[in-house]
Amino acid sequence: MNQRAQTAGTSPLGAKDRGRSTPSQPFQGLIDAVLIAPGQFSFEGAVGADSAAACWTWVVRDLCPDLISAEGVANGNFGSADLELVVPEILLRVKSTLDASGSDGEALRRLRAQLGRDDALEAAKKTMTALRHRALLAKAQSFGKALNAITEEQALTVALQSMPLQEPKVAALLFQAALGHVANPTRLILAAIKLSGNASEVAVQRQGFGPLIEACLAHAQDQLSHLDLNGPFADVDRACRSLDRFHRLVRALTGYIEFPRTSRSTHILATITKQVSDRVEPRLREVVTDINQAMRRPREAPDRVDMDRLLGAINGVYLLATVRDCRDSLALNAIFDQAWNQSGQALEIHIQRSLELLRQAPEDEATGTRLDAAIKMAEVRFNGEYADTLRRARAAAGRRA
């Protein structure tokens, strides 16, 4: 669960999915590579998923009902292959409408009403730019995957120069699509710095790699959409992968590029770091309590293991270990240190108590289950060698009559 994530963000559609998309996919998945969850900041190469959905509804319902079957979209019979056939006509109609909206106040008000957004004109332009370059987005994703296999630094810099750096808007889309498949963003940043001859943000931007910085920021912000840690059914595994990805993206920027204190990038980094930390902090505060509640035996009621609490405690320890690995990119030092120390003390106490109880009653299944869970948590919190020692002690205790 705490393994390093190799990729994050939007995944490419599989062969079966590309032919038959779900109704909820804007433009039948053709621009999924650049979609991000709604966030506080917008980025040149990233399209908000809410913007794309609004534009897709507008195109299907109002602009091209004669080209796109709303019923076919709803039941999944109108797929990406069908859409490809009519995209040129869609782009022509959209361009005509947007041109009119840019010069006619009434047309602009109508567009805003149809999309349900005040930024309808900007949202539609950005979405259509992505749709216009849909073929390049697929190539950019393949490019991102290929970068992972390049081991020589010189070859990486050559590959990076193949991006259309003289066309910032196109480069922004392609970096956004490619970065979702790059396991180690730091390698790209280092290559960009080498080509720029200087580690300052201004120098990197001047060389044409501003879109790469923007893509890193966009993907980092997008990790917030995977950090829902509320409730007993929160996907902690996904949250841990997203934290790891956030750390890789942020460290690639802050660890190597020199950002001016007043730059937009500095402001974005500070803001999203606080947002991610605020999402994680409440769950960290519960880790020790969850361990104690999961391991505690009831005083009077029959001894039954609460598996939900036990799972919650294990997930909390996994999250804690992930925060330890990513703490340089978070603002959680004080709460982490407290939770880390107290969780270690709590686990040692509960393990010793459970071993004593198991020695007294080797057939006690509830105690054995709690002890097995505690040993698993100890393996994550401490190390595998310590856990192996505890497993041997548990086996010895279970053999005693």
Percent of the chain with pLDDT over 90: 84
Q: Give the structural domain span for 162.
A: 137-263
Among 263, 298, 325, give the residue marking a domain's end: 263
The end-to-end CA distance of the chain, in Å, is 37
Among 105, 135, 165, give the residue marking a domain's end: 135
Q: Is residue 9 part of a domain?
A: no
Assess whether 245 and 144 both reside in one domain: yes
Among 197, 230, 263, give the residue marking a domain's end: 263
What the block records as the tokens of 394 is 């548990």
pLDDT at 400: 61
Q: Distance between CA atoms of 139 and 14, rounded to whole angstroms? A: 15
Assess whether 230 and 283 both reside in one domain: no
Residues 170, 175, 176: CA angle, nearest 5 degrees:
100
Average pLDDT estimate for 103-116: 92
Assess whether 279 and 393 both reside in one domain: yes
Assess whether 251 and 240 both reside in one domain: yes
Q: What is the band of 94 on the pLDDT scale with cuts at 50, 70, 90?
A: very high
Assess whether 49 and 131 both reside in one domain: yes
Q: Is residue 6 part of a domain?
A: no
Assess whether 180 and 296 both reside in one domain: no
Q: Distance between CA atoms of 271 and 392, rounded to whole angstroms? A: 47
Backbone angles phi, psi at 207, to 5 degrees: -80, -5
Assess whether 121 and 214 both reside in one domain: no
Average pLDDT estimate for 97-102: 91
Q: What is the DSSP string of 64-110?
A: -TTTS-HHHHHHT-S-HHHHHHHHHHHHHHHHHHHHHHHH-HHHHHH
Assess whether 48 and 120 both reside in one domain: yes
Assess whether 143 and 257 both reside in one domain: yes
Instruction: Flag whether the pTM goes above 0.75.
Output: yes
Give residue-wise pLDDT tens across range 45-61.
999 999 999 999 999 99
Give residue-wise pLDDT tens across range 333-350.
999 999 999 999 999 999
Average pLDDT estimate for 32-43: 96
Assess whether 145 and 256 both reside in one domain: yes
Q: Is residue 220 part of a domain?
A: yes
Give residue-wise pLDDT tens across range 360-383.
988 889 999 999 999 999 999 999
- Do 49 and 221 contact (CB within 8 A), yes or no? no
Q: Distance between CA atoms of 131 and 214, rounded to whole angstroms? A: 20
For the chain, the domain total comes to 3
Give residue-wise pLDDT tens across range 183-242.
999 999 999 999 999 999 999 999 999 999 999 999 999 999 999 888 767 899 999 999
Task: Give the mean pLDDT of the chain.
Answer: 91
Burial 325-338 (b: 16+ CB within 10 A, else e): ebbebbbbeebbee
Inform me whether the pLDDT recorded for 21 exceeds 70: no
Percent of the chain with pLDDT over 70: 93
pLDDT at 3: 41
Q: Is residue 322 part of a domain?
A: yes
Q: Distance between CA atoms of 147 and 183, rounded to whole angstroms? A: 9
